[in-house]
C-alpha cells in the first residue's frame, strides 16, 4: 500500500474489458476514486496530441490499456486503422507522459508482436527474430513500436517505462460482438445463440489444429498491478499461464460447457492465424511474483455464465 498511497493514476481503456477489472482492483487495494482518471473516447480521443497532454497532466502513473483490437476477421478488414490508432495513441501518450514528469508508464503490448514461427514456449528474447503472423502484423508491429520507445526513453531520459506482453485474455465482460470479438467470446456467442435458436450446426474458422494460450482477465489485472508496483526494468515481460490448447479442443470444450449438441463444421478456407502460441512465463514470476491462478475450465464457466446472464436480462 505504500507504493499506491496518494498516487494519481491515468488508466486508459479503464472502461473496457481489462480496464474495468484493473479499476476494481485499484479500489480494492485502497486507491481512492478521485485519484483514478479514466479518459473516455467520446471526449478524449487519444489519437489527438492535445488530449494526450491533458490526460497525463498531474498524473504519477499511466497504465495504458486503450487499444483498437479485434479477431482475425477484424484484423484482415482494418489493418491500416489498427496500425494507425494503436501507434498514435501509444507514441503520443509516452511522449506526453515524459513531458509532464509522469513517474511510471506501463505499456500493454500484445502476443501478436511475436514472430509467426516463434519457438514454443515464446521467450521475450525471441521477440525480434522474425515478422509477425500476417493477419495481425499491423497491430502487432504498432504495439511493438511502443517497446522500442519505452526502452529509448529509459536510456536517454531515465524515464521509468515498462512493457508487458499479455497473452489472449478471456472472461466476463469480454467483447461478444460478432465482427470484433476474439475466439473465446465468438465461440461462446455462436454456440449459446445456436442452442437457444435450435440450430443444428455451426461453422468455425480454420482447421482447428493451431494452438492458443488464454489468460483469465482477473489474473491479467493482478499481473499488471504487480508489475506496476514491483518492476522497474526495460526488458519486456510475458503475462500468461504457460499452457496451450488446440483450437479444436477448445471448440469441443466450449460446446460441452454451453450445452450445444449440434454439428461443428470447419471452414478451412478461412485463416488459422499463428500456428502456435504458448508463453514462457518465468520472467514474470521471478521479477514480480506473478503466477496465474484461475483454472481454465472454471474461467470458461464463469465467462459463459456471465454471457447467459446478460442475454437473460435483455
114 catalytic residue (yes or no): no
235 — phi, psi (to 5°)?
-70, 135
Which candidate in 78, 114, 139, 163 is catalytic?
139
Q: Is the dihedral of CA 145, 146, 150, 156 positive or negative?
A: positive
Rounded to whole angstroms, the Cα distance separating 162 from 62 reads: 11
**CB of 242 closer than 8 Å to CB of 121:** yes
The Cβ-side half-sphere exposure at 99, using a 13 Å CA radius, reads 14
Q: How far apart are CA 148 and CA 188, in angstroms?
A: 36
CA distance 296 to 300: 6
Q: Is 113 exposed, middle or buried (0-12, 13-18, 19+ CB in 10 A)?
A: buried
Cα 238 to Cα 122: distance, rounded to the nearest angstrom: 9
Report, as residue numbers or ranges, the catalytic residues.
139
Amino acid at each position: 500500500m505504500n507504493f499506491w498511497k496518494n498516487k494519481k493514476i491515468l488508466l486508459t481503456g479503464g472502461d473496457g474489458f481489462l480496464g474495468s477489472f484493473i479499476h476494481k482492483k485499484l479500489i480494492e487495494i485502497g486507491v481512492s476514486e478521485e485519484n483514478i482518471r479514466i479518459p473516455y473516447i467520446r471526449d478524449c480521443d487519444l489519437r489527438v496530441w492535445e488530449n494526450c497532454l491533458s490526460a497525463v497532466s498531474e498524473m504519477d502513473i499511466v497504465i495504458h490499456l486503450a487499444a483498437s483490437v479485434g479477431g482475425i476477421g477484424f484484423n484482415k478488414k482494418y489493418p491500416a486503422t489498427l496500425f494507425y490508432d494503436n501507434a498514435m495513441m501509444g507514441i503520443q501518450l509516452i511522449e506526453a507522459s515524459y513531458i509532464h514528469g509522469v513517474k511510471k508508464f506501463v505499456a500493454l503490448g500484445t502476443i501478436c508482436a511475436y514472430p509467426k514461427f516463434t519457438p514454443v514456449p515464446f521467450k521475450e528474447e525471441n521477440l525480434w527474430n522474425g515478422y509477425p503472423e500476417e493477419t495481425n502484423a499491423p497491430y502487432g508491429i504498432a504495439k511493438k513500436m511502443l517497446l522500442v520507445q519505452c526502452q529509448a526513453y529509459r536510456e536517454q531520459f531515465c524515464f521509468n517505462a515498462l512493457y508487458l506482453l499479455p497473452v489472449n485474455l478471456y472472461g466476463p465482460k469480454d467483447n461478444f460482438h460478432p465482427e470484433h470479438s476474439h475466439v473465446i467470446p465468438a465461440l461462446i456467442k455462436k454456440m449459446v445463440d445456436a442452442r437457444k435458436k435450435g440450430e443444428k450446426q455451426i461453422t468455425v474458422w480454420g482447421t482447428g489444429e493451431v494452438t492458443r494460450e488464454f489468460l483469465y482477465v482477473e489474473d491479467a489485472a493482478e499481473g499488471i498491478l504487480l508489475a506496476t508496483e514491483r518492476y522497474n526494468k526495460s526488458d519486456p515481460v510475458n503475462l500468461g499461464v504457460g499452457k496451450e490448447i488446440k483450437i479444436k479442443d477448445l471448440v469441443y470444450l466450449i460446446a460441452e460447457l454451453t450445452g450445444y449438441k449440434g454439428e461443428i463444421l470447419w471452414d478451412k478456407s478461412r485463416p488459422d492465424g499463428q500456428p502456435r502460441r504458448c508463453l514462457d512465463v518465468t520472467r514474470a514470476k521471478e521479477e514480480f511474483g506473478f503466477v496465474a491462478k484461475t483454472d481454465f475450465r472454471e474461467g470458461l464457466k464463469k465467462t459463459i455464465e456471465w454471457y447467459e446472464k446478460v442475454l437473460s436480462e435483455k
